Amino acid sequence: MKLAVYGAQGYALSAFEAIKTLYPKREITCFLVTKMNGNAPALGGIPVRELSTYAQGLSVEEKRETEVLIATPEQVQPDIEETLENYGFRHHRRLTFARHAELMKLFHVRLGRFLPLSALPVGCRMPFVRMYMAKSHVDKPLRNNGSLPDYVFPIQAGAACCDGRVADLTDNTGEHISDRNGNYCELTALYWIWKNKMDTGGCADGEEGQYYGLCQYRRGFDLAEDDLLRLSDNDVDAVLPYPLPYEPDIHAHHERYIKEADWQALLQALSELQPTYAEAFPEILGQRYLYNYNVILAKKRVLREYCEWLFPILRRTEELSAPKGSERSDRYLGYMGETLETLYFMKNAGRLNVVHGACRLRV
C-alpha cells in the first residue's frame, strides 16, 4: 500500500525521514497539505500536493490503496481525518505525540546521533530537578489541562507588561528583563531563572546533582520517573528536544522569521563577543537540524554557562538592531534564541553529554 504524509513542516519531514530509514520498503508518494500557501513544492525529493488536486487525480481504487499518515499537531488531526474521509480516503492514521516520540527514538538510535534520553540505562539516584514553565497572560486555556509533575513550576513571562496574573511566580521580581518580553518571549523567564535561582538552593549531591530548565505552557518534555533517574548516573549535561529538519538548511528557515538587518546585527554581535562561535556559525547554519522552542533541562552549571554566553549576545543584538530592540516588539530575539541554542550545543557536542527527548505540544 502506498503512503502519503499529511503535513509539510518539520514534524512531517522528520517522520518521513524516519520511515524512509526504518522501513525502506514503504513507498512514500508525496506530502499532502490543505493549501500550498508558501509550502515548498517538494520535500525530501518528493512532491508536496494540495489534497483536493491529489484526490481528483486518483480513482476510487487508488484511494483504497493509499494510506495517509497525518503528521500534524494533534489538535487539528480530527478535522483532517474528516476531510480525508470526505475525499474518499479510508486508510489514515494519526501520528500522535507518543507515536512520533517512539519513531524519533528508533530513528536516532539507528543513525547514532541525537541520542535519546530514554535509550540510557535507568540509574539509582534521583536528582534535584526544577523545570520552570513559561506562561503568558494571552495564553488560551488548554483543553486537556492535566496536573503538572511536582518538579514543574509555572512562571509568568512578561509579567511587567500587564496587570493580570496567571502564575504565582512572575519574571518581574529580583533582577529581570520582564519588560522586554515582546522581543525575548519565553527567554525573559530563562533570564529570571539564571539571575534569581541559579545561585541559590542546594541538594545533598551538590551542584552537579541539580538540574534546572525551561519549558513552555504548550511545549515541554514528558519525563517519566525513569527518565529522571537516568540523568545523574549517566552524567547527562543537558536534555534538548529532538531537533527538527528543515530544507535545504536551517538558514533558509530563519529567513521566514528574522529580517536580514536583524540577522546582520546578530552576526556582528557574535563576531564581537564570541568570535570562535562566529567562525563555526556558517557550518551550523548549513546543516538541516534546529533545536526549536527554547526548551531545555540541564545541569545547573551547564545552564548557567549557557545563559552567561547567550544573553550578552542577545543584548548586543538589541543595541545593533534597526530599529533597536527597545523600540519594537516582534519576538525576533526569541527566534534568535532557538538559533543560538542550536549553535551553542552543536558546537559543544564533543564537550557536553547532550541527550534528547520528545517535546509534547499540549492542547
pLDDT in tens, 67-96: 999 999 998 999 999 999 999 999 999 999
Instruction: Determine the Cα angle at 52 with ends 47 and 57, to 5°.
Output: 70
**pLDDT confidence of residue 202:** 46
Q: How far is CA 203 from CA 116, 147, 196, 208, in A?
A: 26, 25, 17, 9
- Select from 123, 149, 115, 114 the least CA-distant residue to 230: 123
pLDDT tens across 206-261, in order?
Answer: 677 899 999 999 999 989 999 999 999 999 999 999 999 999 999 888 888 899 99
**Cα Rg of the chain, angstroms:** 21
Question: For residue 3, what is the DSSP state?
Answer: E
CB-side exposure of 242: number of CA atoms within 13 Å? 29
**pLDDT confidence of residue 140:** 85
> Global pTM?
0.94
Give the pLDDT mean for 60-73. 96
pLDDT tens across 185-219, in order?
Answer: 999 999 999 999 986 544 444 677 899 999 999 99
**The listed CATH number (3.40.50, 3.90.550, 3.10.590, 2.60.120) that belongs to domain 117-361:** 3.90.550
The Cα 257–Cα 246 span in angstroms is 14
pLDDT tens across 336-361, in order?
Answer: 999 999 999 999 999 999 999 999 88
The Cα 251–Cα 241 span in angstroms is 19
- 2-95 is classed CATH 3.40.50.20: yes
What percent of the chain stands above pLDDT 70? 98
The domain locations on the chain are: 2-95, 117-361
The Cα 296–Cα 345 span in angstroms is 11
